[in-house]
Amino acid sequence: MENSNMHGEKMSLINELAQGRELARQLQIHLNVPSSSHGTRESLVQKIIVSYEKALSMLNSSSSASGGEQQLPTGHAAIRMIESPPTSLNGSPRSEDSDREFKDQDNKDSSRKRKTLPRWTQQIRVTSGMGLEGPLDDGFSWRKYGQKDILGAKYPRGYYRCTHRNAQCCLATKQVQRSDEDPTVFEITYRGRHTCTQASTSTTSAPPLPPPQNSMDIVDPQQNQQQPQDLLLTIPQGLTVVTEGLDAGDQELFPYNPLNHNYGGHFSPPFMGPTTSGTQYLSVSEQGFGGGGQSFQGAECEIPEILSSATSANNSPIAAAALGFPFGQADQNLYPNFSFDGPGFFPHSY
């Protein structure tokens, strides 16, 4: 086991470094292109930084522990991945649908689309004076469509979906649940991915990325740093962000989120831990963060169907695009181990 892990980490490290190199090349090209926008260059720079930081994190973590705890050497954030069941901090019935969805997928399959959406959770702690609502703003436009008192929870759960849901068929949704025990902690569960252009333009914010555990296994088990890294860009100082990895049902997650393009734009394959679930803690200094999230639910959009097709039609560029796969062919070169046809990748049709 360890050997395979070690090997996997090495491969991941190599991939990460290769990605960084490729990004540097792209930056070089852009620097020579007058028409290239500043934003594009910035994006590439950010990607390179992220890539190298991830590589460093891998080295750091591999030498430290295998307990799923990692620390970025960057100093501006402490990221911790904790393998833990997707339970809420407060013990409240947090996304109970986690298991429910899991069962559904297992048993019936997708009579209800929302049950098949990728989902991941972040726990955000507001440690210093910013509005408690601050953490809810992740740079994406969310529209609240519901609020519900949850059994066993002191605070109601808020339901949000992407503002561009109708206009751009963006199925991203998120649920915001305040912790009972610690009101400064918000548990944000994201569903689905942003497919709206907004996702690709909000480079200043770092909406949480879905922790693609599966992809992780396939591509790079250590890339989990990606998300935290991105989050750092927008999370207000003083906030502690805990990303609870994909819930148990994440076998269904696609590893990537169109969002990835946004943040810095790029994709970074998997940033979640090698395990099916995990928690990431981000401690940042204060300024505004936004918890972004996404999830899906719409029915008018055909994304789910497209995704489904994607699972059956391996390597379809269109499907990949629809899925928001960050990497194109070039990226695939960077991640030779990645494949769409792995049963662990798209275990179920969407």
List of residues contacting DNA (CB under 7 A): 93, 95-97, 100, 103-104, 107-108, 111-112, 114-115, 141-153, 157-159, 161, 163, 173, 175, 191, 295, 297-299
Give, to the nearest 10 degrees, the angle between helix 2-31 and helix 38-63: 160
CB-wise, 4 or 107, nearer to DNA? Answer: 107
Q: What is the helix (H) or strand (E) element at residue 9, kind and residue range?
A: helix 2-31
Q: What's the closest the beta carbon of residue 306 comes to DNA, in angstroms? A: 19
CB-wise, 142 or 340, nearer to DNA? Answer: 142
Q: What's the closest the beta carbon of residue 342 comes to DNA, in angstroms? A: 25
C-alpha to C-alpha distances, 62 to 12, 66, 222, 243, 336, nearest whole angstrom: 11, 7, 9, 21, 22
Q: What's the closest the beta carbon of residue 167 comes to DNA, in angstroms? A: 9
CB-wise, 299 or 330, nearer to DNA? Answer: 299
Q: What's the closest the beta carbon of residue 259 comes to DNA, in angstroms? A: 18
Selection from 215, 241, 165, 170 nearest residue 326 by Cα: 215
Buried b (16+ CB within 10 A) or exposed e, 262-284: bbbbbbbbbbbbbbbbbbbbbbb
CB-wise, 76 or 112, nearer to DNA? Answer: 112
- Residue 314, both tokens: 């391996």
Q: What's the closest the beta carbon of residue 192 comes to DNA, in angstroms? A: 9
CB-wise, 305 or 341, nearer to DNA? Answer: 305
- Residue 304, both tokens: 């789910």
Q: What's the closest the beta carbon of residue 105 comes to DNA, in angstroms? A: 9
Q: List, in order, residues 6 or more apart from 296 with CB less than 8 Å away.
A: 113, 114, 117, 171, 172, 173, 191, 192, 193, 303, 304
CB-wise, 81 or 188, nearer to DNA? Answer: 188
For residue 15, what is the DSSP state? H
Q: What's the closest the beta carbon of residue 271 comes to DNA, in angstroms? A: 24
Strand order in the sheet with 279-285: 79-82, 279-285, 237-244, 119-126, 185-191, 173-178, 157-162, 142-148
CB-wise, 147 or 333, nearer to DNA? Answer: 147
Q: What's the closest the beta carbon of residue 227 comes to DNA, in angstroms? A: 21
Using DSSP's 3-state secondary structure scheme, residue 292 falls into: coil
Question: Given its phi and psi angles, is residue 65 left (phi above 0), alpha (psi -120 to 50 degrees) or beta?
Answer: beta
CB-wise, 191 or 194, nearer to DNA? Answer: 191
Q: What's the closest the beta carbon of residue 165 comes to DNA, in angstroms? A: 8
Q: What is the helix (H) or strand (E) element at residue 190, kind and residue range?
A: strand 185-191
Are the C-beta atoms of 261 and 196 separated by less than 8 Å? no
Give, to the nearest 10 degrees, the angle between helix 226-234 and helix 38-63: 130
Q: How far apart are CA 203 and CA 234, in angstroms?
A: 9
CB-wise, 21 or 108, nearer to DNA? Answer: 108
Q: What are the φ and ψ backbone dihedral angles of 57, each rounded to 5 degrees?
A: -65, -40
